[in-house]
Homo-oligomer: A and B are copies of this chain.
């Protein structure tokens, strides 16, 4: 049991953040373990609803997780490769879109509604949210898209009406055809288009560790100017590199701060936003 003064201390610490972020938009890339483990899933949903309670405007962008592969297997659609890259042909894309926009997306929406929030599931076709075009570099691998333009009007309208937008990373080409887009990229560019205050990437790591073996070596705050040196030194490496790049681009696009946090810790969203120290790595300009 916590002592009154300890409790009071946390409140005295948290309340100014509530004032500070009230009315601000926070774009959250939701993926990894936090989408698989039932308890973590629930904690994320509760965090998002509580943020909305205190006047913050969370916007969720989700990935597709293992569910796309399961469905492709069930249908006997085999992966094909060109120059070592996995190809998303038309029949694959049909399944990707259905699973992302018709299954994963609507499950998250139903969960938020069940816990008392109000959510609306969207994909990039809705309201012209994401216009995309085929990626041709390094080669044509089918319906994998790059973002051409984000139109945030629909997301803004829903946010102002009290809804939590939940977005599947599918974009629309100029003839209305669907493209599969990287969810981190969608989250980053959407945050920029919304002039969001924060972009939070929920990952399966603790943040950026100076020494991978030492959990106490977490870098709490990183200026974007420091990133190149850390990449060169190998401190930032592998899958963390595109995450950091995503943060840098969001910051350049006008987002206030970006955060790479550990989705494996319950309520990591609340802890990152409402405590002085936070829980992951904040990347700032």
Considering the complex, give the chain B residue whose CB is closest to the CB of A54.
B18
- Closest approach, in angstroms, between the C-beta of A47 and any C-beta of chain B? 8
The reply to whether B109 and A19 form a contact with Cβ atoms under 8 Å apart is no
Residues of B within 8 A of A114 (CB): 175-176
Residues of B within 8 A of A106 (CB): 97, 101-102, 123, 125-126, 170, 178
Tell whether A233 is near chain B: CB-to-CB under 8 Å: no
Copies in the complex: 6
Interface hits, A72-121 → B, CB 8 Å: 74-75, 94, 97-103, 105-107, 109-111, 113-114, 118-121
Residue interface bits A41-69, CB-to-B below 8 A is 1, else 0: 00000100010011100000000000000
Residue from B98, B111, B270 within 8 A of A102 (CB atoms):
B98
- Closest approach, in angstroms, between the C-beta of A107 and any C-beta of chain B? 8
Instruction: Please classify how large the interface on chain A is, using the bins under 10, 10 to 19, 20 to 34, 35 or more.
Output: 35 or more
Whole-angstrom distance between the alpha carbons of A158 and B175 in the complex? 24
Whole-angstrom distance between the alpha carbons of A120 and B127 in the complex? 6
Residues of B within 8 A of A158 (CB): 157
The reply to whether A53 and B109 form a contact with Cβ atoms under 8 Å apart is no
